[in-house]
Amino acid sequence: MITNRIKTLRFGADQMSQQALADEVGVTRQTINAIEGDKYSPSLEVAFRIAAVFGVGLDEVFNWEPE
């Protein structure tokens, strides 16, 4: 299962909104919401884009746990 820390990182980045992150990444707000809620695993490209917005590595945003 893939989990993520996007919500924490958003609040750490001056309480960035989902819409602001979505605009930076180039997806819809609903997609950011689905990723945060572990309802959707993004493509590698979108995952890298999200990490780049926060200026951190991919492994600091996403975590994979074997089921």
Partner 1 sequence: MTNLSYQEKNIWGSLIALFAGACWFLGDAIPAFLAGTPPSPERLAPWIFSIFLAVLVIELAYHVTLSVCARRDRRDERDALIEAKAGRNGYYVLGGGLIALGFHVGIWQLVGADPALNLSIAIVAIVTLLVLAESSHLVSKLVYYRRGV
**Footprint on this chain of partner 1 (rule: CB under 8 A):** 26-31, 34, 37-40, 42-43, 46
- Rounded to the nearest whole angstrom, what is the least distance from the CB of residue 28 to partner 1 in the complex? 5
**3-state class (DSSP) for residue 3:** strand
- Rounded to the nearest whole angstrom, what is the least distance from the CB of residue 40 to partner 1 in the complex? 6
- Rounded to the nearest whole angstrom, what is the least distance from the CB of residue 38 to partner 1 in the complex? 8
What dihedral angle (degrees, nearest 10) is formed by the CA atoms of 37, 39, 45, 49? -10
- Which CB, 30 or 63, lies closer to partner 1? 30
Contact partners, residue 51, CB within 8 Å, separation at least 6: 57, 58, 60, 61, 62
The distance of Cα 31 from the centroid of its chain, to the nearest Å, equals 9
- Which CB, 12 or 26, lies closer to partner 1? 26
